[in-house]
Amino acid sequence: MSVFVKKLNEVDPPVHPLELIWVRMVMTWVVCVAYMSVTKVPKPVLGPKGIRTLLAYRGLSGFVGLFGTYYALQYLSLSDVTVLSFLTPMCTAATGALLLKENLTARQMIASVFSFVGVVLIARPEFLFGRQHQDEQIDEAESLRIVTSAQRLVAVSVALLGVVGLTSAYTTIRAIGKRAHPMHNLGAFSLFCILTAPILMVFAQIQFVVPDNVSCSAMILAVSGCGFAAQMTMTSGLQRETAGRGTMAIYVQVIFALVFERMFFHTTPPPLSIIGTVIILSSAIYVAVSVQ
């Protein structure tokens, strides 16, 4: 999803994150309501009584998290956004322990820290490793507009706000548990985005871009499809597993990111990325088999 979002920022004119959010969530909401209606899931639009406030908060926090990621991809490299977004699992593990009284062992925290170290080795963000490490591979952002230090600072701040949003969203999903169908969670999230994104676009005077070629349309559909699959599987997993252990499994996606970067941006993983990959896989396997 992030790869296609970033590529859509390169088209002329670029597709704004709020537009991508709106298009993606319209499709998601239609699928959710249709599925729940066909399968006779009660209250397909508003969700079960008693947890509607939690569902609304899940929608708000999810929107903040999604916008933070999409916005940051406009001005930051994939590596920087990856490092910042992967703060979410550790934050979620902490909030799950503090707010939901879930078990969080020292071993799991150590595995989480090692996983984050692996992410940093793979991403090698400029603000930690310097420009020379960025020059070792083809920089996919070279063809983009020049990003000023002020824009970068704002992007990092918004990305960190997105981490807060995602942490809140994942913790809320765990708090809701099995009191709602996974589609209820996703439906509340998508409905909030559908209502909010157009208002913000009008307020910020953002132009709605209508795709004029097959490639652009296909990428927008890919963003929607990948986003729906990610949210559905994440929600289903968090309903069955603790917040900390469930979200730490996200680290495995870095392996896929390495493959996709090679496919779409023609980058070859350097030795530090290989080391980081081994660390992440080892930590993920350890978390998966550890007894709570």
Q: Has residue 140 got a pLDDT over 50?
A: no
- Backbone φ, ψ for residue 46 (5° rounding): -95, -20
- The pLDDT > 90 percentage for the chain reads 21
User: pLDDT band at residue 59, thresholds of 50, 70 and 90?
Assistant: very high
Lowest mean pLDDT among 221-225, 245-249, 255-259: 245-249
Q: Could you tell me the two tokens for 125?
A: 């963000």
Q: Quick one: CA torsion of 229, 239, 72, 207, rounded to 10 degrees?
A: 60
Mean pLDDT comparison of 176-180, 265-269, 282-286, highest-scoring range: 176-180
User: pLDDT band at residue 288, thresholds of 50, 70 and 90?
Assistant: low
Overall average pLDDT of the 276-282 stretch? 76
Q: Say what the pTM is.
A: 0.74
Q: How many domains does the chain have?
A: 1
DSSP string, 42-61: SSTTT--TTSHHHHHHHHHH
Q: What is the pLDDT of residue 125?
A: 67
